[in-house]
Amino acid sequence: MVAGGLKYERQKFNQTAAGMGASLLLLAAVGLIIPALFHFTAVDTDEILEQELSLAIAVILFGTYVLSLMFSLKTHKHVFRGDPRAGDDQGEKPWTRNTSIVVLTGVTVLVALMSELLVGALEPTADRLGMTQLFIGVILVALVGNAAEHSTAVMVALKNKMDLALGIAVGSSLQIALLVAPVLVFASYAFGAPLDLIFTPFEVAAVSMSVLIVGFVSIDGESHWMEGVMLVGVYLMLAIAFYFLPA
């Protein structure tokens, strides 16, 4: 939003698509809040019961993600196509399907390799700078691991394609919350070490605040650079808080 807003005074995007993304983020936040509330407020709870609760919530989150794909790719795909008049790439010849698949596959492999190299280099650097494991996982690894999504979102925003930019930004978070997290819970049972979805109150609060600001910013279907500044400001405040949060 900052990058696109500096080039265009006002950028518009589909309110239905943006609202769908914000609602799914809110659902993911609820999926994190419930296990935490249960853990900190319920009386006479045990670890097995909390794991079963987390498993049930993981099933719901995963099922919701699958249904959201049906919504965006089939029943309401017209909503997520974006404005064909937006952008400045008129006259560019589109790639064929085979070319697109080959390039996408190759780039995915290269990005995965580079992400692994960078993440591996983060640990000694973080130790030298006195960073906690929590800060590394929540801030640094998230930034490095999603560098491709970040750069792509900025580039398409500069082309005035905010539907795509917002879809990339929100979709990346949704994949982690609704797909990766539940799959990790499922996989943990296969290894005999069940995981739960219980996070600390501060972590849950951070996710909830992030979801709320995204919802408020996207509710009107348009954006400008100041809204991007507000989002970046929230992220920087949370990053500073995680940096000073005791391990």
Residue 215: give the domain boundaries.
2-86+112-244
**pLDDT score, position 157:** 93
Q: What is the pTM of this model?
A: 0.79
Q: Is residue 223 helix, strand or coil?
A: strand
pLDDT digits (tens, 9 = 90+) for 31-75: 989 998 888 887 677 788 888 999 999 999 999 999 999 988 888
Q: Which is it for strands 11-12 and 222-223: parallel, antiparallel or unpaired?
A: antiparallel
Least confident of 29-33, 148-152, 235-239: 148-152
The answer as to whether 107 is a domain residue is no
Whether 193 is in a domain gets the answer: yes
- Count up the domains in the chain and report the number: 1
User: Using CA atoms, how far apart are residues 106 and 108, in angstroms rounded to an integer?
Assistant: 5
CA distance 28 to 39: 18
Per the domain annotation, does 25 fall within a domain?
A: yes
Tell me, what's the pLDDT at 62? 94
- Tokens, residue 81: 């196509």
The answer to whether residue 91 is domain-embedded is: no
pLDDT value of position 89: 55
93 lies in a domain? Answer: no
In a domain, 45, yes or no: yes
Confirm whether 47 is domain-assigned. Answer: yes
Three-state secondary structure readout of 148-182: HHHHHHHHHHHCCCHHHHHHHHHHHHHHHHHHHHH
Q: Is residue 32 part of a domain?
A: yes
